[in-house]
Amino acid sequence: MTRKVLFTVTSHGELGNTGKPTGYYLSEVTHPWSVVSGFFEIDVVSPKGGKPPVDGFDLTDPINKKYWDDPAWQKKMDNTLTPAQVDPADYAAIFYAGGHGAMWDFPDDKGLAAIAETIYRNGGIVSAVCHGPAGLVNLRREDGKYLVDGKNFTCFTNEEETLNGTEHIVPFLLQTALEGHGGIFKGGKPWSDTVVVDGRLLTGQNPMSALSLGKKLVELLQKA
């Protein structure tokens, strides 16, 4: 398969009204990247394009450090594509990385939605981890139903959001929103490495699930 994988990161850098910064969660990009890049070329898109804000900046994580110190990787991350620059036909899968910022700009971004819906309609895979499934909330299938309707999924859980102290800061609870659109929640214990596959929908629960999700994405693409 010669088609690529499209990584999607948030452009939103403010954690509600707290005055604290947020962005995409670094390991939720680097960990899947470390697996997927061995098999597929990766492009990166964000709602606004350009350099996205980053959160979870932990360079004691060797995978984070490897990529953060790589000029080629930095160049790609500093120059993310806008949705208008993306041709969905080029991609076998889309992957939504998490980070709290995604909760603000992923759900209602029509450009990202059109890309993901087209990839799925073309037989590709839609995948997301942690708060990345915020990008799935309003996606629809060709029949008009929500993409998650009747499908098993996981995401950063209501319990994890509460344990994290952010349940009243985020604009909505992600698990609740996806369940409200017909999704069937299949979460694991808090902070567990949990990945759920339902056909061509692939979701991971939290940062600890990002590497496993990357491995499963490659496995599914190789079977396609």
Q: How far apart are CA 169 and CA 54, in angstroms?
A: 18
Coil vs helix vs strand at 40 = coil
Cβ atoms of residues 58 and 26 within 8 Å? yes
Q: How far apart are CA 164 and CA 162, in angstroms?
A: 5
Give CA 150 to chain center in angstroms: 20
Across 30-83, where does the E strand assignment appear?
42-45, 54-55
Q: How far apart are CA 137 and CA 148, in angstroms?
A: 8
Catalytic positions: 130-131, 161
Residue 143: CB partners within 8 Å, gap ≥ 6?
Answer: none
217: phi then psi, degrees, rounded to nearest 5: -60, -45
Q: How far apart are CA 195 and CA 19, in angstroms?
A: 32
44: phi then psi, degrees, rounded to nearest 5: -125, 130
**10-35 burial by CB neighbour count: b if 16+ within 10 A, else e?**
bbbbebeeeeeebbbbbbbbbbbbbb
